[in-house]
Amino acid sequence: MEAATAARRPNWLSALLPLALLGGLIALFVALDAPGLERNGVPVEEIAVERTELHPGEIELTLRNDGPDDVRIVQAIVNDGFAAFDQDDEELGRLDQAKVRIQYPWIEGEAYEIAMLTSTGGTVDTSIDVAAETPDADAGFYGLMGLIGLYVGIIPVAIGMLWLPWMRRLDRRWIQFLLALTVGLLVFLGIDAALEGLELGASGAESLGGGALMWLGAALAYLVLAGVDGLLERRGGGGERVALLVAIGIGLHNMGEGLLIGSAYAIGSLALGAALVVGFAIHNTTEGLAIVAPVADGHPRLRKLALFGLIAGAPAILGAWIGASAFDASLAAFMFGLGVGAIARVVVQIAPQVRDRAGRLLHPLAAGGLAAGLALMYVTGLLISV
């Protein structure tokens, strides 16, 4: 009887009822201009400077209103002097983004303090540590970023994968050691990316989530990879499946690395020296090892291995492009989170293969491999500082 009554009214209608009620109440509340709630105190002005670009005779800032109230930028001060400027929009509403272009004869290599005065006399402060022209996003620039991505992403990973023939002839116990080493490498990358993401998130607009964006990205990537893994599981492929997931995890991580390199280059704070490229090459070569370790006892086809290498290395190029042309701290935090989640998923995936015959996870060889992986990443990481 009851079931029959319910069937007459579609179930989705009852799901909509609370939503409709909420919508109606919000409309009423707004229409009555928030009855009972009075503004206490002065407007809160919070502006995040999301991007700084330097062009000849011009400093361009991308601002986002990070606070609850509208903000009006009315004057610009550069190094204790008023400067002429223009802007897209005088009034910045909540979460609005706008560009401010300050006409200023800046000098290459010098530092600048910028204060944007708001209509209430408050200041939005930002600084340029070392002034350098922001590169134009032309073909040559994208070519250069591609080259950097190639150097720090694809080539080292491919070289690292050349350890495969050597690994094939190793005793199973030493393969386990290398898998544990891989876990160590990944754990280091994961921690590194998580810290970087949290820092980036904190420097972006707080209202967009701040550091939480990193965790959000991590959870999302973990879930997506878990789903993909479930799909692949049906098609079998053991070691290759794991290798693919490792490649995806490392690829997402390298995209974050490329992002940082690209943005650092764009704001001129990157010394594109040989030392940096060499450092990344050594650091990332170990990533190649991590990809081939799961397939050491199988016979993967060369084409497939090349594909894994590309998946792991190529995102560095994409990251460099994005970082250099449209860097946004909040977006970067999210992307770093993706890398963290992917790595976490891969670690969970590899860990069972490290178990010895007695089923122990942290047997001496595994613990040694793990520690060696962490140490290797730390030491090679010293060669890099963006």
Partner 1 sequence: MLSRRNFLCRLPLVAGALPAAKAIAAEPQHNGHAGGPAAHLGTVGAVDPAANGFDPQLILRDFDEGVVRGGVREWELVAEEKEIEVAPGVKYAAWVYNGRVPGPTLRAREGERLRIRFVNAANHPHTIHFHGIHTARMDGVPGIGAGNVEPGRETVYEFTAEPFGLHLYHCHSIPLADHIAKGLYGAFVIDPPKDRPPADEMVMVMNGFDTNFDRSNEIYGVNTVAFAYKDKPIRVRRGELVRIYLVNALEFDLMNSFHIHANFFDYYPTGTSLEPTELTDTVIQGQGQRGILELRFPFEGKYMFHAHVSEFAELGWMGFFEVV
Query: If you count them, how many residues does the chain have?
Result: 386
Segment contacting partner 1 by CB under 8 A, of 101-109, 149-157, 270-278, 355-363: 101-109
Residue 45: CB partners within 8 Å, gap ≥ 6? 67, 69, 71, 118, 120, 122, 124
Q: Which of 337, 184, 151, 148 is nearest to 252 (CA)?
A: 337
Does 101 engage in binding with partner 1 (CB under 8 A)? yes
Q: Tell me which of 84, 202, 362, 382 binds partner 1, using CB under 8 A.
A: 84
Contact region with partner 1 (CB under 8 A), list: 118-126, 210-218, 224-232, 337-345:
118-126
Partners of residue 62 on adjacent β-strands? 51, 99
Q: Strand 123-128 to strand 112-118: parallel, antiparallel, or no bridges (unpaired)?
A: antiparallel
If binding is defined by CB under 8 A, does position 39 make contact with partner 1?
no
Alpha helices in the chain (DSSP H): 2-8, 11-31, 139-149, 155-161, 164-168, 172-203, 212-234, 238-266, 274-292, 302-313, 315-326, 329-350, 364-381
Q: How many amino acids of this chain bind partner 1 (CB under 8 A)?
A: 28
**Shortest separation between residue 81's beta carbon and partner 1, angstroms:** 3
Contact residue for partner 1 among 16, 25, 103, 143 (CB under 8 A): 103
Q: How far is the CB of 208 from partner 1 (least distance, A)?
A: 25
The minimum distance between CB 76 and partner 1, in angstroms, equals 8
Pair 324, 272: CB distance under 8 Å: no
**Smallest gap from residue 79 Cβ to partner 1 (A):** 8
In whole angstroms, the minimum distance from the beta carbon of 104 to partner 1 comes to: 7
147 contacts: CB under 8 Å, gap ≥ 6 = none
Cα gap 66→95, rounded to integer Å: 6
> How near is the Cβ of 58 to partner 1 at its closest, in Å?
7
Binding to partner 1 by CB under 8 A, coded x per residue (else -) over 42-61, reads ---------------xx---
Biggest alpha carbon–alpha carbon distance for the chain? 83
306 contributes a contact to partner 1 by CB under 8 A: no
| Positive or negative torsion for Cα 113, 86, 46, 82 | positive
Look up tokens 């990332």; give the residue. Answer: 284
**In the structure encoding, which two tokens stand for residue 37, read together?**
């709630």
Site residues for partner 1, window 64-83 (CB under 8 A)?
Answer: 72, 74-77, 80-83
Query: With binding defined as CB under 8 A, does residue 123 bind partner 1?
Result: yes
Of 14, 29, 34, 86, the residue at the interface with partner 1 (CB under 8 A) is 86
CB of 73 to partner 1, least distance (A): 8
Say whether residue 97 binds partner 1 (CB under 8 A).
Answer: no
Asked if 285 is part of the footprint of partner 1 (rule: CB under 8 A), the reply reads no
Instruction: Name the β-bridge partners of 52.
Output: 61
| Contact between 111 and partner 1 per CB under 8 A | no
- The strand pairing partners of 123, in sequence order, are 117
Distances (CA, A) of 70 to 64, 90, 96: 11, 10, 9
Q: Quick one: which segment of 19-27, 102-110, 252-260, 339-347 binds partner 1 (CB under 8 A)? A: 102-110
What residues make contact with partner 1 under the rule CB under 8 A? 57-58, 72, 74-77, 80-87, 90, 101, 103-105, 115, 117-123
